[in-house]
Structure 1
């Protein structure tokens, strides 16, 4: 799964650099900023979604929600 996420990040960087090259010359600082920003944002977004889906499938979320419901019922 990590390989697919990294591949998606690389493809997003290539797309962003291609788009930037259509409208302006690519300077080394712009290339580094695009690589850093797009690649890290893609990895962070995919990682957070993966963590949310893993948390949902593992059952930890239902344990927390049932515990809070029991606390609400006892507190009332």
Structure 2
């Protein structure tokens, strides 16, 4: 049988795992700022001056998509890294 991490039931390991998740989210927030900034600049270059509504839509669309994907993938990594996925198989 393989060795499993302590899991999220252990407070110390849970704190470590959630800190790692928050670190991933901080890096992805920084990447999102760069992506959204580049997208708004590109849209401004292609279409000319943008209204505040178009800028808000770009921020919400690009930023929301990237951050939602980052949050969901981060939770996948959290679940897998904490051993939660393997524990589901070991019901007995």
Query: What TM-score, normalized by structure 2, do the two folds share?
Result: 0.65
**1:32-71 superposed Cα distances (whole Å, 9 cap, x missing partner):** 100111111111111111100110011111111233xx7x
Task: Identify the residue that residue 50 of structure 1 maps to in structure 2.
Answer: 74
RMSD: 1.5
Q: How many aligned residue pairs are there?
A: 68
TM-score (norm 1): 0.77
Alignment partner, residue 73 of structure 1: none
Structure (1 or 2) with the greater helix fraction = 1
**Correspondence 1:1-76 to 2 at 5 A:** 1=23, 2-25=25-48, 26-67=50-91
- Gaps spanning 5+ residues in structure 1: where? 71-76
> What are structure 2's unaligned runs of at least 5 residues?
1-22
| Secondary structure of 1:10 counterpart | helix
- Looking at structure 1, the residues matched to 67 and 39 of structure 2 have their Cα atoms a distance apart, in angstroms, of 15
* Displaced runs of 4 or more, over 3 A: none
